[in-house]
Amino acid sequence: MSLLHRHLHHLHTVWRRKTRVELSHYSATGFQSKTFSFISSDPGADPTEIHKKKLFLWFSHLPKEEKQFGDVFSPETMHVDPLILERKYEERAGPLRSPYQTLTVPGPSLTVEQLFEPTDGWSEGRGPNVLMYGAVGTGKSTMVRKLVLDWCTGTTLSRFKLLLPFSCEDLSQLTKASSLRDLVGRKYLHLKKHPLLSGDGDQAKDVLFLFNGMEKMQLDFRIGSSELCSDPNEPLPPGVVVVNLLRKYLLPEASILVTTRLSALDWVPHKYVNRYIQICGFNDPDRQRAYFTSRLLQQSGEAAHNQEAQAMIELLYLNLQRESQLAAACFLPSYCWLTCATLHFLHFTSAQAPIRTLTGIYTSFLRLNFGGEVLGTRTGTGASVQDHHTSLMMYVVRTVGKLAFDGVMHKHTSFSERDLEQWIGGKTKTDEELRQQAMFQTDVLDFFLAPCVESKKYLPKELSEHDERRYVFAVPAMQEYLAALYVVLGENKSALEKLTSQVSVVIGQASEDVNALVNIFSKFIPLRLFAFFNLLKLFPKLYKKLESQNKGRIARTMAAEMFRSEDSYNEDVLDQVEQSLLGVHGPQPKQYDDSKPFELYPIFMGGLLHYGNRVLLQQLDCNIQSTTVAQITQALRKYLVRELSQPLPPEELMDLLVLLYEFQNPRLTEEVLYSIRTIRLTNVRMTSLKCFILSSVLSCTSASFHLKELDLSSCLLTHKMLQMLWPAFRHTNSLNLQFNNLGPESCIPLRDLLLDPKSSISSLQLCDNSLLDSGCRTLLEALPENQSLVHLSLMHTGLGDSGALELVERLQQHTNLQEINVAYNNIGDGAALTLVDACREHPSIHTVHLYLNPISDVGKQSLYAHGEPRNKRTNRRVKVLVSVTEGSDISEDWHPILSVIQENASTWEPKRVKEQLEIFLKDLEWGRQQQQSFWKRLHFRRVQKQVQQTLQMLEDSFPSSKGSSK
């Protein structure tokens, strides 16, 4: 709020110094520049214009969660109006949601401007009372904010000279009696003596009162509880003032807009409501697409980002059009926000942006929707609702969270009405519990659970018609998040654990008087069983043991869920999250599968222990104690280190990195990494986010920590991703970047990596990247100053003669290289001979790979001869791998050459590999004919068979290559 105060102080200074000022909207709000002209705060200053400016500043303030959508944020362009319908009194509780665009709309959608247009039922001289309602997440608060901002800029409701927004939550906290003018002056000091609020004549017809969140206020329309009052200056309780405004007894000409939840509709008698307006969310994919477009295209202006965002929007739209489960969720604008925030996190993560986690996004999402929300009760006692409340989020955890936890434990994602009745309803005992349950089911349950559209789509028609209706979580990951929250908050404790916890709290507050302790115990334990529970005199030790066992059980659950053997071959969790939003394109399953792996569940449990998420949860009255975090972390460290004694599949290893990233605990991360020392992510589809996670996790270790190997082969890496992976590369000895999308420009960060004194790269593999001569030349610039590199692979990188000669010039300046792989390039006889000669003169190089290069038979013979030692005293020989034969003999390295070809044939050019294999066969046939020994001819035949099998494998994989080569 300090920034806002500085803005207000600046405005106050301007108003005092100038008689007429032009003020542009602040760029921090993201609004397009518009100019206001107003009179300064001289005695003749217009308080209405001052009011507009202050309102604009107040309502332009956005929560920090909105700032994640790029540097340029424009709420004006990012707002999409939800469906607004007028309801008759008898149909005011009509259908709240529809999964897809087949919703039957009873009448045209209204605009905000139309809400206060006169109708036949309105009385002359009385302003209308409009009651706007909707379920949680349909966009009520967003509509109110947009309405106020538009009125300030003069784009809507310009017929009202004065708009007065009030928060009913704020009003419910006031205990002192105040008049209407005092209430206005308390919040808007500059309007305290405004003539429109005097009650004289019909001036109030130009005033619009806006009461947001009426369900948070105790309104009682009974005459005995709220006296009549028509004087704006008479002090009354705030609730009585609001009641008299709605009765049209106080300022009857004023118009009033009230927003509330569905469960509170009847709190205002029907005779005091002129219009019921329902906000129904986004009822069709076009509105949803407009929202996604406005949000996801708000990038920093980079064409590549916008192009990627546009492609993402198209995939989203296709998924919505086919009536997917996502379309049912995005009926609520809140879930459109969550979808955009998740996709922005998955695709537009930047190393310069603040740390964001998936758990943090879901926690922020719930804080935005349920922050400060309570389940109140209408007791009719006149007491504030705040005096009789339960945190709405804790109620969600204990009901919907319990349902989610049961689904995770039994591996199912859809629930029957009987399940909902068992877990959501439970056993109710008091009227208050029944009221809370009814309010929750009316207002909130649809926010989390939606009818399952997938099962109806894929199950046989006759089965789906007779099957019981099923419900699923609106977003699949929400089930795993709530289940994790249910566990971490300790709601799955046994009855004994909960009992001992309650006794522990009360004992801590009691004296040592025996009678006092007996009275305390009697509240929890029947007296006839009290003798047995005398053991609780040892309670502190017993409770500590029970508590530590519970935390250990949570840690074991996290470790067990992370490394389920049946989940080993699933895609990593980040890809699963993306597919749930963008859909899986291709053949659809014939049968709906209700079972699925819950791999996000343990990751969310780790993320919830992070301090930042715990602070947000505390605002929702969901408290996770620091001692709990310490105990779970200690137990988790032990189980993770034990589980990681065996190598993990690449996808599960990526999930582990995500868990460590979400946990944000550097000490735990370092200890876990010390236990693995090798990270192989082969064939994992790397994204900017995954690169950022890998670098962030490795940055938690000390500067002396180095991985034995970091394998990122076949990961679709690009030049931009290499820059994000820089911190990870500095902690690596052996770096494998084969089979990626790296070009000549990618050699610049790799060169800088080799030049970095803190780097200790000993092996660098760049096979199957189109580096070309220019890129290799850039990379080789690091050789004179780098002395850590031992093995360098430039196989199939587009290296030609000039690149090979550049390598020759740099070799003598690097004394530690031992092996060079330049196979499958465009190196001819002359450059190859020069390279081998240079390697023979090198003090440490022992192997050079040159096979699959366009080298003639004469060149091959010369290469083998040049590989022999020139100085007989040193007897140093360089192994030259060119072909499976060496003259008339079989090369002793024929098997490694064939193995490399077999491993990579699927990604190499089939025609060229086939030609080289046929040359191998001719060489073998000629060599076999030169042999007199039967055993040598048999050995040639065995090698020929291996080459023929490799050739057959290639033709089976690429049958068209056979015809094209003829």
What is the per-residue pLDDT across 303-351, written as a single tens digit (0 to 9) for each? 666 788 888 888 888 888 877 788 888 888 889 899 988 998 998 887 7
Encode pLDDT of 97-152 as tens digits.
444 434 445 567 788 888 888 776 677 778 899 999 988 888 888 889 889 999 99
Taking the C-alpha atoms of residue 520 and residue 507, their distance in angstroms, rounded to an integer, is 8
Which span out of 242-251, 312-321, 389-398 was modeled with the highest average pLDDT? 242-251
Q: Write out the H or E segment, with its range, that includes residue 881.
A: strand 879-881
Q: Is CATH 3.80.10.10 the classification given to domain 669-892?
A: yes
Closest CA to 916 of 905, 906, 927, 926: 905
Closest CA to 578 of 419, 901, 814, 347: 347
Q: Which residue has the higher pLDDT, 389 or 73?
A: 389
pLDDT score recorded for residue 120: 67
Closest CA to 584 of 284, 291, 324, 307: 324
Question: Tokens 């460290």 sit at which residue?
Answer: 637
Would you tell me the crossing angle of helices 285-296 and 303-321 to the nearest 10 degrees?
Answer: 160
pLDDT score recorded for residue 871: 52
461 close to 376: Cβ distance less than 8 angstroms: no
Taking the C-alpha atoms of residue 258 and residue 276, their distance in angstroms, rounded to an integer, is 10
Taking the C-alpha atoms of residue 271 and residue 258, their distance in angstroms, rounded to an integer, is 15
Tell whether the model's pLDDT for residue 453 goes beyond 90.
Answer: no
Domain 47-95+105-280: give its CATH architecture: 3-Layer(aba) Sandwich (3.40)
261 close to 119: Cβ distance less than 8 angstroms: no
Closest CA to 629 of 637, 641, 619, 621: 637
Taking the C-alpha atoms of residue 505 and residue 489, their distance in angstroms, rounded to an integer, is 16
Mean pLDDT of all residues belonging to the chain: 78
What do you get for the CA distance between the two ends of the chain, in Å?
Answer: 76
Q: Which residue has the higher pLDDT, 239 or 947?
A: 239
Tell whether the model's pLDDT for residue 901 goes beyond 80.
Answer: no
Taking the C-alpha atoms of residue 398 and residue 622, their distance in angstroms, rounded to an integer, is 11
Taking the C-alpha atoms of residue 923 and residue 945, their distance in angstroms, rounded to an integer, is 13
pLDDT score recorded for residue 179: 92
Sequence-ordered list of residues with C-beta below 8 angstroms from that of 939, at least 6 positions apart, any chain: 890
Encode pLDDT of 612-657 as tens digits.
999 999 999 999 888 888 888 888 888 888 878 788 889 989 999 9
Q: Which residue has the higher pLDDT, 647 or 397?
A: 397
Ordered DSSP codes for 584-649: --SSPPSS--------HHHHHHHHHTSHHHHHHHHTTT----HHHHHHHHHHHHHHHHHHTTSPPP
Of 217-231, 332-346, 548-562, 823-837, which gets the smallest average pLDDT?
548-562
Taking the C-alpha atoms of residue 642 and residue 646, their distance in angstroms, rounded to an integer, is 9
Question: Tokens 């609730």 sit at which residue?
Answer: 239
Q: What's the pLDDT band for 542 if we cut at 50, 70, 90?
A: very low
Average pLDDT in the 820-829 region?
91
**Pair of tokens at residue 410:** 């039994």
Closest CA to 242 of 186, 179, 161, 176: 179
Report residue 909: phi and psi, to 5°. -70, 115
Sequence-ordered list of residues with C-beta below 8 angstroms from that of 964, at least 6 positions apart, any chain: 911
Q: Which residue has the higher pLDDT, 423 or 448?
A: 448
Q: Write out the H or E segment, with its range, that includes residue 435.
A: helix 431-443
Taking the C-alpha atoms of residue 420 and residue 471, their distance in angstroms, rounded to an integer, is 9
**Pair of tokens at residue 651:** 């996808």
651 close to 569: Cβ distance less than 8 angstroms: yes
**Pair of tokens at residue 851:** 């096979």
Counting Cβ atoms within 10 Å, is residue 685 exposed (0-12), middle (13-18) or buried (19+)? middle
Domain parsing of the chain, residue ranges = 47-95+105-280, 285-356, 669-892, 899-957
Alpha helices in 18-127 (DSSP H): 47-60, 75-78
Encode pLDDT of 20-46 as tens digits.
333 333 332 333 333 333 334 455 578
